[in-house]
Amino acid sequence: MKSAQYFKRRPRRSFKIFSLLKLFLVFLLLVLVFILFFLKKNIRAEDKILLVVQGKNVVRIVDFDFISSEIVVVDIPASLEVEASHNLGNWELSSIWNLGENEKIGGGKLLVETLRNNLFAPVYYFSSEKGNSLVEGSIFSSLIFPFLESKSNLGLVDKIKLGVFSARFKDSRLTKIDLSSTSFLERTQLKSGKDGYHVRGELPQELLWVFADPLFLRNKVFVSLINETGSSLVVGRVSKIVETMGAKLGAVSNQNASGDDCEVAARDYNLLSNLSLVFSCRKVEDGKLEKNEIVLKIGKKFKERF
């Protein structure tokens, strides 16, 4: 039988383990900040990152706002019926990642493109379910995210940046928005017979602020669209995505169809980079354009993958 003295010593051991864990967390945080400081010197600073996170019951769009030091989580029901990009038909949102893998497009790539087209959200970055550790769980789960996530298109610098930012603010500066409780979605019966949702209205004002690009708002950007797809079908959606980013849509010029994909031209490289990411377009720096002007040209190849 263990003596009473043995049991009195146990709390001291637990306290020591807890203290070592705290020291390890501090050490890990310092290492991440050190790496971030040296790797980010030549990386363009971003005001925010919109990250799509795969999930079983909900798919999330998480807004990491580095200006206001806030995190906004938009929960989208996995039973939302969406039209998959690349002309792959209608599917439940929960199936899009696997569909992308099966079609050799990439699960995360198809997911962000599909959300972009259906919710008009200017998203590009994605993460597997491991991305949920950035908005849930302990500080430790945030700090080890950069080392565990392997299915994301985030670079190492951005992974570390999000891990450190999450560790600092997810317990105190995080807001959740349940998209199923807004007027944007309507409950319905899906073709499979299950209950689900479909898009029925305009994006709520609160989401427009979440999805808007601060750089576009500050510069009062306007975008001219050159349509060489041979059709006007994609123009409406492209226009809405551009407007959701915070830009004003200028002239739409319908021209003869071309076999090209898409091209973004601008004088300001940062504006150029942001829009080209969202639509995966070729970038062209054009000094003849106004500082806040962007020209987006889309062709047949763009329509086929949109």
Residues 265 and 297 occupy one common structural domain: yes
Whether the CA torsion 149, 153, 156, 157 is positive or negative: it is negative
What's the pLDDT at 22? 64
Domain around 265: 213-305
Of 145, 176, 199, which one is at a domain's C-terminal end? 199
Q: 69 in a domain, yes or no?
A: yes
Q: 66 in a domain, yes or no?
A: yes
Residues 195 and 80 occupy one common structural domain: yes
Q: 28 in a domain, yes or no?
A: no
What's the pLDDT at 42? 44
- Tell me which residue of 289, 287, 288, 284 sits closest to 297, measured CA to CA: 284
What's the pLDDT at 202? 86
Residues 122 and 78 occupy one common structural domain: yes
Q: 24 in a domain, yes or no?
A: no
Q: 31 in a domain, yes or no?
A: no
Query: What is d(CA 72, CA 64) in angstroms, rounded to the nearest whole number?
Result: 7
Query: Which letter, b or e, does each residue of 195-213 get, where b requires 16 or more Cβ atoms within 10 Å of its Cβ?
Result: ebbebeeebeeebeebbbb
What's the pLDDT at 13? 57
Residues 192 and 84 occupy one common structural domain: yes
Cβ proximity of 167 and 29 under 8 Å: yes
Residues 98 and 238 occupy one common structural domain: no
Hunting for tokens 């146990």 — which residue is that?
10
Residues 152 and 63 occupy one common structural domain: yes
- Tell me which residue of 94, 91, 128 sits closest to 108, measured CA to CA: 128
Residues 191 and 252 occupy one common structural domain: no
Cβ proximity of 146 and 32 under 8 Å: yes
CATH code, domain carrying 299? 3.30.70
Q: 16 in a domain, yes or no?
A: no
Of 199, 226, 241, which one is at a domain's C-terminal end? 199
Residues 132 and 263 occupy one common structural domain: no
> Number of helices (H) and strands (E), helices first, in the chain?
11, 14
Residues 67 and 152 occupy one common structural domain: yes
Of 137, 168, 199, which one is at a domain's C-terminal end? 199
Cβ proximity of 96 and 110 under 8 Å: yes
What's the pLDDT at 7? 47
Residues 248 and 167 occupy one common structural domain: no
Residue 85 exposure: Cα atoms within 13 Å on the Cβ side: 27
CATH code, domain carrying 119? 3.30.420.590
What's the pLDDT at 26? 63
- Give how far the C-alpha of residue 173 lies from the chain's centroid of Cα atoms, to the nearest Å: 18
Question: CA torsion angle for 204, 217, 297, 61 (degrees, to 10)?
Answer: -40
Provide the H-helix boundaries in 133-268: 139-143, 145-148, 156-169, 205-211, 214-219, 235-244
Residues 157 and 259 occupy one common structural domain: no
- Give how far the C-alpha of residue 293 lies from the chain's centroid of Cα atoms, to the nearest Å: 24
Q: Residue 187 phi/psi, 5° resolution? A: -70, 140
Residues 253 and 138 occupy one common structural domain: no
Beta strands in the chain (DSSP E): 48-53, 58-65, 70-77, 81-83, 90-92, 125-127, 174-178, 185-189, 195-199, 222-228, 248-254, 262-266, 282-285, 293-299
Q: Residue-wise pLDDT tens for the chain (306 aa)?
A: 555 554 455 555 555 555 666 666 666 666 666 665 655 544 455 789 999 999 999 999 999 999 999 999 999 999 999 999 999 999 999 999 999 999 999 999 999 999 999 999 999 999 999 999 999 999 989 989 998 999 999 998 899 889 989 999 999 999 999 999 999 999 999 988 899 999 998 898 889 999 999 999 999 999 999 999 998 889 999 999 999 999 999 999 999 999 999 999 999 998 999 999 999 999 999 999 999 999 999 999 999 999
Q: 250 in a domain, yes or no?
A: yes
At 17, list the tokens.
């383990």
Query: What is d(CA 241, CA 239) in angstroms, rounded to the nearest whole number?
Result: 6
- Tell me which residue of 268, 223, 264 sits closest to 245, measured CA to CA: 223
Q: 120 in a domain, yes or no?
A: yes
Count of structural domains within the chain: 2
